[in-house]
Amino acid sequence: MRPRFRIMVVDDDRVSRVTTSQQLEARGYEAEPAENPFLALRLLKEKPWDVVVTDLRMHGMTGIDLLKEIRTSHPEVEVILMTAYATVETAVEAMQAGAVDYLVKPFRLEELDLRLKRLFDLKAARNELETLRSILGTSQGAHGLIGQSPGMVQVYERIEMFADHDAPVLITGETGTGKELVARALHEGSKRRKAEFVAIPCGSIPSELAESQLFGHEKGAFTSAHQRREGCFERADGGTVLLDDVDDLPLEIQVKLLRVLQEGTLHRVGGTEEISVDVRLIATSKIGLESAVADNRFRDDLFYRLRGLEIRLPPLRERGEDVLLLAQHFLKVLAVQDGTEEKELSPNAARALMAHDWPGNVRELRRSLESAAILCRQGKIEPEHLPFFDSRPIATDRSQTHELFTIHLDGQEKIDFASVVQKFEQTLIRWALAEAGGRQTQAAALLGLPRTTFQSKLSAH
């Protein structure tokens, strides 16, 4: 069960703030209105909050000023800006000041609800990384990563080898394997650790803002560009830039990224000045970039530039008893967080964990144990407490597991491969949407896909 998000709605328009708060409450959130930014700052000191949704133009203090105050005093609180006076310049300023999202008035509640659900998933993913970094028993791993399997030992070795070099590093692995954690370990182990580590989620940057977000823009570069803005690469000068899900970058941005890597220089949008930057680039990808190159979705010259130093994070299903090692640590962390006695795994539950394929990897394991800890009342987790468990016998060997589907080829002389694959994907997408009650984020998780990839496939079909 998801905890209730605590949301503050800040707007000097009474109808807007009260209506939005009431609608959020009806959707299951815990919402409270604040009539001005000064009251909002006072409320932030009195009790914990997850999100502040604030108007941009208000008397006495703007939404941007409030955002900056929150980022300084309450960095754990996320901020969504809303405004009826939308410009590209304002959107860029909001994102660079630390806003997690941006809404244009008037908007439908469904739109805000979708942004909040995405934010919940994002915060959960960040919490998992923090948990892995600070988890007990660090002697069993390195850099906050937990595991003793051969695949993870190789990851530790490559972190040590690559950390103090300036060449780009490509980190590959399925969603939920901990790629950002490895990137941070590389930064912390390098001579750049005292400078900025700037993480850029490539899949969530609006295409019209991508170039400005990465490389900055000059005053007058576009209609609403009223002042110069530095991009992420300039802010990380001397440090490290992480391009998370680099496979989601538009092709036109890939060209400019290649120039930065080759020349160590960039041009802001609308600028002619050549700006030198000293940045170490780390990129992650959830797919094989070779296939993206073959499909003309990723530039081959950029791919060859990135792949010199590569770290592959193994999926959880390949890590053997690391599953139980991670499970025990998560149970310790959950007990500390909830102030309860630590739950134990029964032998049957341990076998169930080992038999599961973990399409969502470490992230799915954490979620499964959170659910099991809630459902378990007697202190010992049994298989029936695990969300993926069913009543069928648990296979003790992976060779005994059943096939998900079969294809009948008898009598076929020729197969339209693309058509068969398309029908197969359509079947999986319909199943996932039905299981998730139409919620795309949850459906994507059921298929072990990033939300952006799922939505892309949904549109294609």
Beta strands 344-345 and 380-381 are parallel
Identify the pLDDT of residue 126: 59
Q: How many domains does the chain have?
A: 4
Q: What pLDDT is stored for residue 135 in this prediction? A: 41
Are 40 and 95 found together in one domain? yes
Query: What pLDDT sits at residue 425?
Result: 82
Please check whether residue 383 lies inside any domain of the structure: yes
Residues 157 and 297 grouped into a single domain: yes
Which stretches of 61-105 are DSSP H helices?
63-73, 88-97
Inside any domain, residue 412: no
Exposed/middle/buried for residue 192 (C-beta within 10 Å: 0-12, 13-18, 19+): buried
CATH number at residue 454: 1.10.10.60
199 in Cβ contact with 247 (< 8 Å): no
Q: Are residues 285 and 261 in the same domain?
A: yes
Residue 409: pLDDT band with limits 50, 70, 90: low
Higher-confidence residue of 138 and 404: namely: 404
Same domain assignment for residues 212 and 304: yes
- Residue where a domain stops, chosen among 314, 348, 376: 314
Domain-embedded: residue 328: yes
Q: Are residues 259 and 207 in the same domain?
A: yes
Burial degree of 46 (CB within 10 A; 0-12, 13-18, 19+): exposed
> HSE of 344 in the Cβ direction (CA atoms, 13 Å)?
5
Pairing mode, strands 275-276 and 265-266: antiparallel
Q: Is the pLDDT of residue 8 over 90?
A: yes
Q: At 72, which CATH number? A: 3.40.50.2300
Domain extent for 161: 135-314
More confident residue, 172 or 220: 172
Segment 270-290 mean pLDDT: 89
How many Å from the N-terminal Cα to the C-terminal Cα in the chain?
31
Final residue before a domain boundary, out of 64, 96, 125: 125
Residues 219 and 291 occupy one common structural domain: yes
Give the residue from 94, 125, 156 where a domain finishes: 125
Q: Are residues 394 and 454 in the same domain?
A: no
Residue 217 and residue 153 share a domain: yes
Can you tell me the distance from the alpha carbon of 233 to that of 211, in angstroms, rounded to the nearest whole number? 11
Query: What is the structure's pLDDT at 45?
Result: 92
For residues 112 and 231, membership in a common domain is answered with no
**Residue 333 and residue 306 share a domain:** no
Q: Are residues 157 and 296 in the same domain?
A: yes
User: 225 in helix, strand or coil?
Assistant: coil
So what's the pLDDT on residue 11?
A: 92
Q: If pLDDT is split at 50, 70 and 90, which confidence band does 125 have?
A: low
Q: Determine the 3-state secondary structure of 345 from DSSP.
A: strand
**Dihedral angle over CA of 330, 435, 175, 110, nearest 10:** -100
Q: What is the pTM of this model?
A: 0.57
CA 444 to chain centre: 13
Contact criterion met (CB below 8 Å) for 147 and 137: no
> Does a structural domain hold residue 263?
yes
**What is the residue-wise DSSP string for 5-62?**
PEEEEE-S-HHHHHHHHHHHHHTT-EEEEESSHHHHHHHHHHS--SEEEEES--SSS-
In a domain, 405, yes or no: no
Residue 1 included in any domain: no
Check pLDDT > 80 for residue 342.
yes
Same domain, 382 and 456: no
